[in-house]
Amino acid sequence: MSRAVLNRHPELGIALPTNRVHLTSARLGRIVKALEEAGCTSLWVNDHLAAFPVGSENYPYSATGDITWDPELPQYEALTTCGFLANTSDRMKVGTSVLVLPQRHPVAVAQAAATLADLTEGRFRLGVGAGWSRREMTLLGWDPATRGARMDEELDIIRTGWGQRRRLARWVHYDIPPDVIFRPRPTPATVPPVLVGGTSAAAHQRVLKFGDGWLAVARGDDPASLAQAGAVLTRLRDRSERPLTGVLKVALPHPDERWAVRALEETVGHDWDEVTFEFDEWRLDETCSLVSACNALGRTVHDAPSHVG
């Protein structure tokens, strides 16, 4: 048996199954309330606007190269869902993990995020990424080859529109008139933190230049993956000229308390602000038990198995 205690208890989030199960307002409402009672502090939703059959495109985040969800199941729109979640809970934070920014126009994203910022009174977080599905991006009328450069410009445009940056140069990919007025504009108290996802060098540079933090992903059943994410966070903070928030999304096949506690123990020493769990297979009761177990680990010295068998 090994004894572990978290020096600073990270907030605990759950990535909701908004692309894995059929949802109604009643069912999603029950999920939100149950997670809130279990001690969850934030809810996250993923983002796709179109789906294609399994095997039609390489998915970079699985060992097989195939997506880990059924594309025939509903994919609920991310920002709309965030609005519902925030209206269902007046305490938990809500966010996107991640919104595929290069397949949306930055003015539309700026307005939607600012709207959520006002209506949630500062509980919305904008997690963004460059995306992986070239077919989806092409279908929506955007060039996948320019997604990185366009994402950089989009982040600059959004920050400028919110009044956080001064426009210094003409943007190449977006023709934004200099006299355009962005409204609503978040107040300093409600402006959404921009969390940039990605594992490439370009993504890390994007974190440092435009982000308030890094949204990392690691496999919860792979200690090396967790350690690597923690090391990257440390390097990013060492290079940053301002404080960076660290949010770690831990992916697991299903809500197993033992693996979750083990993963949380692996984060000790890396000072993550939040650890969020995402499951290939959704089970609400077991997810609530997992959240309670992880909260207990953070409050007291927790006896955890030295192995998972």
pLDDT tops 50 at residue 2 = no
Q: Note the CATH number of domain 2-304.
A: 3.20.20.30
pLDDT tens string 87-133? 999 999 999 999 999 999 999 999 999 999 999 999 999 999 999 99
Instruction: State residue 158's pLDDT score.
Output: 96
Spell 188-202 as b/e; 16+ CB within 10 A means b: eebbbbbbbbbbeee
Instruction: State residue 304's pLDDT score.
Output: 42
**If 0-12 CB within 10 Å is exposed, 13-18 middle and 19+ buried, where does residue 90 land?**
exposed
Give the three-class secondary structure for 243: coil
Domain positions in the chain: 2-304
Q: Which residues pair with 48 in a beta bridge?
A: none
CA gap 47, 55 in Å, rounded: 19
Instruction: State residue 8's pLDDT score.
Output: 65
pLDDT tens string 195-253? 999 999 999 999 999 999 999 999 999 999 999 999 999 999 999 999 999 999 999 99
Asked whether the beta carbons of 120 and 88 are under 8 A apart, the reply is no
196: part of which helix (H) or strand (E)?
strand 194-197
Give the three-class secondary structure for 214: strand
DSSP class of residue 11 equals E
Structure confidence at residue 25 as a pLDDT band (50, 70, 90)? very high
Asked whether the beta carbons of 24 and 60 are under 8 A apart, the reply is no
pLDDT tens string 63-90? 899 998 999 999 999 999 999 999 999 9
Instruction: State residue 301's pLDDT score.
Output: 36
pLDDT tens string 160-196? 999 987 776 689 999 999 889 999 999 999 999 999 9
Mean pLDDT of the chain: 92
Backbone φ and ψ of 102, nearest 5°: -70, 0
Q: What separation, in Å, do the N-terminal and C-terminal C-alpha atoms of the chain show? A: 13
**Distance set, CA 168 to CA 27, 73, 156, 175 (Å):** 47, 44, 10, 14
Backbone φ and ψ of 294, nearest 5°: -70, -35
Conformational region of residue 167, where left means phi above 0, alpha means psi within -120 to 50, and beta covers everything else:
beta
Cα maximum dimension of the chain: 64
pLDDT tops 90 at residue 276 = yes
